[in-house]
Structure 1
Amino acid sequence: MAFLKKIRPSLLRPNNRSWRTALLALVLLAPGGLAASTVTDVLNNAQLRGDATFRFLGLPLYDAKLYTPQGAPFSWNQDFGLLLTYRKNLKQKALVESTLEEMDRQGNGAPVQSQLEQCFQAVSKGDTYLAVSQGPDKVGFWRNGTKTCTLSYPGIKRAFMSIFLGDNTRSASFTRQLKGQ
């Protein structure tokens, strides 16, 4: 050890630049980040299909990523996962009410408000929500990698996911990018 101190003292003390470089390499090498591991844990053979940023009046609200089995083209007949990473702080009430409003706007049946309140909590910048379909009548939800609930409701997969992936979304270009088209 004394020998190393004489010839290479920099090997024994941390170098901020080295630590930053190592951390950056770790982040870049992690496929899809830490949230992707939850998707692959829940959805068999999940691979990223597409991603997009949703904006309201030009301000980015969240980044979305669509995961399908083996990255296959989007299909309502297959299970899939949708990961949202929020860029703004939003209250639980805003998340629940906007979800119900969008489901209603699209003419889709919706669960009752109390069910959504169990699933959705307030989000801060950087928080994630993952929704994974489990057949046509179930959608599981994870907030920052922790399961919050499973909604079981006739047609909930299409009713909820149409907000992002349907034919009548708030932004056709967002939906096309998310679907990888």
Structure 2
Amino acid sequence: MGKSYDRLTDRLREFISAQPVFFVATAPEAGGHVNVSPKGYADTFAIIDDTTVAYLDLDGSGVETIAHIRDNGRVTVMFCAFAGPPNIVRLYGTGRVVTPHDDGFDELITLFGPHPGVRSIIVVSCDRITDSCGFAVPFMKYDQDRPLLDEWAGRKDVQQRRTYRATHNRESIDGLPALSPGETDPVHRRS
């Protein structure tokens, strides 16, 4: 049976920290496509306090999460146990996008491991925290992180990243604005 929490307990923090993958779900306010994105790299997720979490948003083929959060702020982050006892933890809340040019970015970036291709940091203020059984989630073996995204971003120079972001990250598939022209300029440092 599912349970709701006012805050991230030590047990929930331990569970979240042990998961090699998490999923982020968002949707635009006025129709459009619901988006669910898988996220990896254990050092890209951080618990800031009892009701606030953040994750490192890396370059990718789409920009739905940024566009949807800027549209209405709604976001859900989900963790599933693919090994060990069955469990699913969902963090419902309001997100905000922190780009390298925003106040607070320099402090937040220290929470994460080194990765090239950092677009932003997504900070989520949780207003509902739940867990449930996960009885139907299959057992799956974790071997290792795929290095492909970091390798891909690491091969791009500043102009190539700027061009890629300008081409693929300015708006969502539904035409919502995402990264502004100034936000497509890559930071000259890794996380």
Q: Which TM-score band applies after superposition, normalised by the shorter structure?
A: under 0.3
Report the structure, 1 or 2, having the larger helix content.
Answer: 1
Greater Rg by CA: 1
Report the TM-score when normalising by structure 2.
0.23
Report the structure, 1 or 2, having the larger strand content.
Answer: 2
